[in-house]
Amino acid sequence: MVFGALVTVSLVAGVAGGLWRLGVAVPDPLSFAWTGQVLLVHAALMICGFLGTVIGIERAVAVKHRAAFLAPLASGSGALCLVLGQQAAGAWLGVAAAVSFLAVNAVVVRRQHAAHTLLLLVGAAAWVTGNVLFALGHGGNAVFPWWFAFLVMTIAAERLEMTRLMRRRPSASVTLHVVLSLLLAGAAWSGVAPRAGELVYGTALVLLAAWLVTFDVARRTVFAHGISRYMAVCLLGGYAWLGIAGVAWATTALGWATRDAALHALGLGFVVSMMMGHAPVVLPAIARVKLQFGAFFYLPLAALHLSLLMRLVLGTFSEPLRAAGASFNAATIGFFAATVAGAAVAWRLQHGAAGARKTQ
């Protein structure tokens, strides 16, 4: 219950902050925290508060140790502090969360020394770096690349784990390591030489998208049926947005007004597509809730892509359309949450409460 409440507060407040900064009216109780660096706090709530807590819970469940839950508890509590306007406390709780998460992943590496566990560890280190910079008062140019490196590397690690039995050319692993090293180099340079860092970081995102499309099993399972095909559609769509985000990120180095497109093609187009694709598999594992999968899962996915096109393409020419697209983005997230809740109810109705209890 506590974790569910913290995740919900982070998500609702983060979405409200994103709408508020674009001029969309939000309820007064959700607007009082937005007095400082609105974009930075909005990103902190969404990446560290919402996604960081969810990822932390997933890792803690996998590790099966109570101490591992300190990371999501700290990240969720930090987000709550941000919502209450206590940015310093929230930022340092975020540092504590990331350090705890790093320790959890170090334990995982000791248990299982593999490419995907090492990548999770490096991703956790990126989160620590971003959170320390945020706590020390650095701006988005320095912080965002590290936060997104955490998410991108975590997702890449998940894909490596899920496809570890798939045969790949020996050069594929070397290429991936080079691309991810380039990503980290771009993140580091962004704080001291923004233009060079943005160009390198964006290039790395494009190369990673190409690698994932080439070597991920989704390219084959998209021709399957049922949940396998749904996941593949989510993944391939996400990889397309990852490539778009990379191009947009790189062009900010040229002075183009593509910052919003870069951040949201990556944060919504890529990350949320991945979240939608993995939810039917991950949720039963971490929340012990069975979902009745059906074609209706494609509806919020389609809405996500349409809302992003509206925001990033039409919104380029009109601020009202950009705000409308952002509102559509928010509605899409709510739509997906309702879809998941409906799928859980549908499973219980079909299999009965007794069946639900047996799976717990």
pLDDT at 360 over 60: no
- One DSSP character per residue, 4-25 reads HHHHHHHHHHHHHHHHHHTT--
Confidence of residue 349 (pLDDT cuts 50, 70, 90): confident
Confidence of residue 357 (pLDDT cuts 50, 70, 90): very low
pLDDT at 170: 78
pLDDT in tens, 290-303: 899 999 999 999 99
Closest CA to 348 of 279, 291, 284: 291
Q: Distance between CA atoms of 316 and 262, rounded to whole angstroms?
A: 13
Higher pLDDT, 166 or 342: 342
In the predicted model, what is the mean pLDDT of residues 261-284?
94
Beta strand segments in 215-317, E = none
Burial of 293 (C-beta count, 10 Å sphere; 0-12/13-18/19+)? middle
In the predicted model, what is the mean pLDDT of residues 33-57?
84
Q: Residue-wise over 206-243: b if at least 16 C-beta within 10 A, else e?
A: bbbbbbbbebbbbeebeeeeebeebbbbbbbbbbbbbb
In the predicted model, what is the mean pLDDT of residues 12-19?
90
In the predicted model, what is the mean pLDDT of residues 278-285?
86
pLDDT at 250: 97
Question: What average pLDDT is seen over the chain?
Answer: 91
pLDDT at 165: 62
Contacts of residue 80, defined as CB under 8 A and 6 or more positions apart, other chains included, come to 6, 9, 10, 90
3 state DSSP class of 32: coil
pLDDT at 267 over 50: yes
pLDDT at 28 over 80: no
User: How are the residues of the chain apportioned to helix, strand and coil, as percentages rounded to the nearest 5?
Assistant: 85, 0, 15
Amino acid present at 92 = W
pLDDT at 282: 86
In the predicted model, what is the mean pLDDT of residues 207-220?
94
Q: Distance between CA atoms of 214 and 233, rounded to whole angstroms?
A: 15
pLDDT at 33: 52
User: Which of 177-181, 272-276, 316-320 is predicted least confidently?
Assistant: 316-320
Task: Tell me what percent of the residues of the chain surpass a pLDDT of 90.
Answer: 73
pLDDT in tens, 98-120: 999 999 999 999 999 998 999 99
Burial of 6 (C-beta count, 10 Å sphere; 0-12/13-18/19+)? buried
pLDDT at 101: 98
Q: Distance between CA atoms of 297 and 218, rounded to whole angstroms?
A: 17
Q: Distance between CA atoms of 332 and 300, rounded to whole angstroms?
A: 6
How wide is the angle at C-alpha 121 spanned by C-alphas 116 and 127, nearest 5°? 125
Burial of 145 (C-beta count, 10 Å sphere; 0-12/13-18/19+)? buried
User: Which of 15-19, 38-42, 325-329, 346-350 is predicted least confidently?
Assistant: 38-42
Closest CA to 59 of 285, 303, 352, 228: 285
